[in-house]
Amino acid sequence: MTRWESYLVSAAKVINSYKGDLPLHHFLKQFFKQHPQMGSRDRRWISQLVYHYFRLGWWHTDMDISERLLLGTFLCEQQSNDLLEQLRPEWNQQIAAAPEEKLAISGAGSLAAEQLFPFTDELSQGINADAFAWSYLRQPHFFLRVRNNKQEQIVSALQKNGIPYELLENRTTLALPNGTKIEDILKDKSWYEIQDASSQQTGHLFKPAKGQSWWDCCAASGGKSILLRDQQPGVQLLVSDVRRSILENLQQRFAAAGVKNYDARVADLTNPAFPGTMGRVKFDGIILDAPCSGSGTWGRTPENLRFFKKEEINKFQDLQKRIATNVIPFVKPGGVLIYITCSVFRKENEEVADFISSNSHLVQEEGGVIPGYGNGADTMYAVRFRNKE
């Protein structure tokens, strides 16, 4: 058995034993821990094969696993591939062809959007189902947000280290190859934040003013809060999350980013009794980056195409409505609420936005879907509401 054939066998073992009960990258770590004889190159090839397999969604699931691994590699790769060169050299010669041409070359037949992404009937308005589904054949980029006007220094460091990059039109977003060990290249953490390009765009809706009070109520790792403070260092900031461990991670990230003078608290926003714990406080702005399916980020975790159940969308919508209900009373008259998800499902997006408008004095001002599938980014949804009370 050649090295390349052994990679197919190992990748098939991963796929046959993986049940979707934890993120694929965690499962792979466990698998490789059980096979310490595999070196870094072996782990990289096997991981790549497995991810290519899941990027094909529900298409040709009845195909022999080894054949589907090869087909996934052919469709997802754009540059000459050593494995294909050994096992499918005629495909490797056409590796730069368009996906439609590759389908004809491989003899695999047609590929419809719903075969890649089986939830096309749930998509938000404005999302191109075909373009979105086909984007799964490409791994999203790794993005940086430039801070403190350090564009020249960052670009110089990338060039010095031979790292290809694209500086987007806004001059503050950099797209880099996945796997770039940016911490080895940029030692000063105050120069940048790792943040998806679409996530960065949500900040266009913030528009904070000096001295205002803002609450990032589902703060998680704090990326939106750092973005807010970078826009206006003079805002008074409260961050909360239901998980104490997450807030501890947030505080470490804030320290590295130089974010100081803020309040933090553990808060279960789904608890009906929560509003009574907040007193009479009101905020000029609230960022509700709601827990969601994460479907707009599945290009990074394509295993979800196989293991996500459609009925979970309703569960997320119910969660989002309960959180919104508990948060809305704390928006000042004239204040704003920024509702954000990294979902592509209308039940988590437009339907929750309509629920907010119908059950409060909040009126939608601007926002909507942020399509990332055209530039290798996540797809998100963000809407700005104004309290007209």
| pLDDT for position 302 | 97
Is 292 labeled as catalytic in the residue annotation?
no
How confident is the model at residue 248, as a pLDDT? 94
Catalytic residue among 76, 218, 292, 342: 342
Establish whether 268 is an annotated binding residue. yes
- The stretches of 260-381 forming alpha helices (DSSP H) are 304-307, 312-327, 350-358
Please check whether the domain covering 198-387 is classified as CATH 3.40.50.150.
yes
Domain spanning 142-194: CATH 3.30.70? yes
Per-residue pLDDT at 262: 96
**Whole-angstrom distance, CA of residue 289 vs CA of residue 292:** 9
Closest among 200, 247, 195, 244 to 221, alpha carbons compared: 247
Query: According to the model, what pLDDT value does residue 1 have?
Result: 82
Domain boundaries, the chain: 3-111, 142-194, 198-387
Q: Walk along the chain (389 residues) in steps of 10 and give the mean pLDDT of each run.
A: 94 96 96 94 97 95 95 96 96 94 93 94 96 95 95 94 91 92 91 96 97 96 96 96 93 93 95 91 97 97 96 98 97 98 98 97 97 96 95
83 contacts 76 by C-beta, under 8 angstroms = no
